[in-house]
Amino acid sequence: MYTRLNYAHQWGAFMASKFNTMKRFGLEGCESFVPGLKFCIDSAVEEGARTFVIGMAHRGRLNTLANVVRKPMEVIMAEFQGIQPNQGDETVNANAGDVKYHLGTTFRRRYGDSGHEIKLTLMANPSHLEAVNPCVAGRVRAEQHFLGGKTEDRKTVVPIVVHGDAAIAG
């Protein structure tokens, strides 16, 4: 947990110093969100979950992309500089298409000691606040449908909806 907390703090501090004139919507004062989310995912994997669809507003999004979903940090920094990395060593100057804290990604990886393959998706949220929530619900339901429809299979797909920093859970 300490390691994850340190990753979250250091990533936020680095981005604040490197891109100090750009909006980043950092986690200043709420870095415990990253190890908390990581713990939730760890616990769900132990119970059989294999696919996670995350929806969240702007605050903490870059840190979640880097430290939870594991979007490569060099890609995030390149997007801040207006460069879109290619598959190879070359880079091309291209517009990333949207502001950086609206973008999402999907990442597959082998998980811990168990070796299970999991898929993490952070949904793009091109609007404000909780507009992504119904998109997460629809995406999760579609993922469940294409698994075959058995109740047991549906339990392997987990939606995670994170309320914005000023939201009140209803």
12-21, 83-92, 93-102: which is most confident: 12-21
CA distance linking residue 73 with residue 91, whole number of Å: 15
Q: How does pLDDT run across 116-169, given as a tens digit for each residue?
A: 899 999 998 776 667 788 889 999 999 998 887 677 778 899 999 987 655 555
pLDDT class of 100 with cuts at 50, 70, 90: low
pLDDT of residue 124: 85
Per residue in 37-57, is it b (16+ CB within 10 Å) or e — as a string?
bbeebeebbeeebbbbbbbbb
Q: How does pLDDT run across 41-69, given as a tens digit for each residue?
A: 989 999 999 999 999 877 788 888 888 88
pLDDT higher than threshold 70 for residue 106: yes
pLDDT of residue 164: 67
pLDDT of residue 52: 96
pLDDT higher than threshold 80 for residue 98: no
pLDDT of residue 94: 43
51, β-bridge pairs: 119, 157
pLDDT higher than threshold 90 for residue 101: no
> 121 CB contacts (<8 Å, ≥6 apart)?
51, 52, 53, 54, 69, 104, 105, 106, 107, 139
Model-level pTM?
A: 0.81
DSSP letters along 46-108, please?
HTT--EEEEEE-STTHHHHIIIII---HHHHHHHHTTEEE-SSS-EEE---SS-GGG--EEEE
Place of tokens 């993490």: 120
Of 164, 160, 131, the closest CA to residue 59 belongs to 164
Domain boundaries, the chain: 41-70+98-162
